[in-house]
Amino acid sequence: MKSDQPYVARYADLPGDIQDKAKHLCWGYSQTDPVAKVERYAILRTLLGTVDETVFIGTNFSCDYGFNIHFNGFSFINNNCTILDSSPVNIGANVFLAPGVCLTCTGHALIAEQRRNGIITSAPITLAADVWLGANVVVRGGVTIGQGSIIGAGSIVTHDIPAGVVAVGNPCKVLRKVTEADRLAL
């Protein structure tokens, strides 16, 4: 599960006790007063693989295991985000996830018999520094999104996205590059 390589497994062979612990910690995090920063950070430190006090995670956050989620500096994870981390999820510095984002390393077998028998797939996800995912974006396992890219709301990302672009849709496709013309005037 900690490997950067995709894999196939039986759901029953995955560590259920660790998943139960993660569910309990996510529940506790969502029940903690949003302004109780010390308590909330203590829960995140116990739950996540790599995190520091510059990471903000909103309410109703859920994950499968937690130990496979690695933040590499400041990130802002808005409310109702889900990370299914049966493989490593690496989140670069200055990443913004809007409400309802789902990062799912886990997939299911395409053959119905295998699905019934609990056969799953898993592959890592990497969000490079300065990535912004709009509301309700879904990122599938095996995807890397390049530095500074923006994924439009409601998109489903099924393949790698290069650095410095705006990408949208289902399946998500590059729309254009981010340019100086995008700079906001203050």
What string of DSSP letters covers 2-43? -SSS-EEEEGGGS-HHHHHHHHHHHHHHHHS-TT-HHHHHHH
pLDDT at 143: 98
How far is Cα 46 from Cα 173, in angstroms, rounded to an integer? 37
108: annotated active-site residue: yes
pLDDT at 122: 97
pLDDT at 73: 96
- Cβ-count burial of 169 within 10 angstroms (0-12 exposed, 13-18 middle, 19+ buried)? middle
Instruction: For the chain, 186 residues long, give each residue's pLDDT as a single digit of tens.
Output: 999 999 999 988 998 899 999 999 999 999 999 999 999 999 999 999 999 999 999 999 999 999 999 999 999 999 999 999 999 999 999 999 999 999 999 999 999 999 999 999 999 999 999 999 999 999 999 999 999 999 999 999 999 999 999 999 999 999 999 999 999 999
pLDDT at 103: 98
pTM of the prediction?
0.96
pLDDT at 111: 97
